[in-house]
Amino acid sequence: MLNVTYINTAGITLAEVAPYLPFITKERAANTSNFRFDKNKIDAILSELLLRAILCQQFHLKNNQINIQKTKLGKPYLEGFPNIQFNYSHSGDYIILGISDKKVGIDIEEITPIDLSIAEHYFCSKEYSAIMAEREEHQVETFFSIWCLKESYVKYTGKGMTIPLTSFCFTVRDEVIQFEGKDENMRFELLPISEYYKTAICYQDKERIDSIEERTLQEILRYFDTSKEK
């Protein structure tokens, strides 16, 4: 079982999601106040609300049964439910969630102008050469394809940046993705969420993606009753 859910946050205001702070973890709610910009606050709140709504819908949990914890390396997990694995990411106007009964890593990045020398320093030499071999108008897009794939793998492992980005390598040709690294029992896909974004997911080889669905704010918030306590 592997499902991907995402929401376009364009036009969503802080006033719409702030009343739902009591429904997320106290730590995340407290950290939200440290953000300077409303956009960052919205992403922080809505990322967890999306997760909780999907857990309520697909696994028939109640919100007060959902206890999100983090490993020592910072990967979130659901306490008491080892067979429910999840990972989420946000960038620009999108928040995306991958949820499965096995390990999963997901990443989304808005395609924006970037200094490609980053790839020279943080990607393996084969990846950098592949980027620079592209026509100039395609180089940034290729950079973000590789970047998302790398992030999805790092998030899949749960080891964070303890894994050097140069220790594994991707080749992407005509939507065919090849991975060179220590682990070989994984699949990678680039998901067509938006032409202005790159999205990559990493999951176990025996799995398949069952669904990719977009949700609206109203579809998420319907699982939380602000007239009642968490």
Q: What is the pLDDT of residues 135-147, one digit of tens each?
A: 999 999 999 999 9
* Same domain assignment for residues 137 and 44: no
State the CATH number of the domain containing residue 223: 3.90.470.20
Domain count, the chain: 2
158, 194: one domain: yes
Q: Are residues 122 and 212 in the same domain?
A: no
The residue-averaged pLDDT of 175-199 equals 90
pLDDT band at 86; cut points 50, 70, 90: very high
Q: What's CA 157's distance to the chain center, in Å? A: 13
222, 168: one domain: no
- Axis crossing angle, helix 136-157 with helix 125-133, rounded to the nearest 10: 150
Same domain, 83 and 168: no
Residues 166, 224 within the same domain: no
The pLDDT value given to residue 51:
97
d(CA 137, CA 131) in angstroms, rounded, equals 11
Query: Do residues 40 and 115 both lie within one domain?
Result: no
Rounded to two decimals, the pTM is 0.92
Domain range for 76 is 1-102+208-230
Mean pLDDT over 171-179 rounds to: 88
Lowest mean pLDDT across 49-63, 89-103, 151-165: 151-165
For 198-207, what is the mean pLDDT?
Answer: 92
**In this structure, are 140 and 178 located in the same domain?**
yes
Candidate from 11-20, 63-72, 109-118, 175-184 with smallest mean pLDDT: 175-184
Among 47-51, 158-162, 215-219, name the one with the lowest average pLDDT.
158-162
In three-state secondary structure terms, 44 is helix
The pLDDT value given to residue 230: 43
Q: Confidence band (pLDDT; 50, 70, 90) for 202?
A: very high
Beta-strand (E) ranges in the chain? 2-8, 68-70, 76-78, 85-91, 94-100, 104-110, 169-173, 176-180, 186-190, 197-204, 211-214
221 in the same domain as 196? no
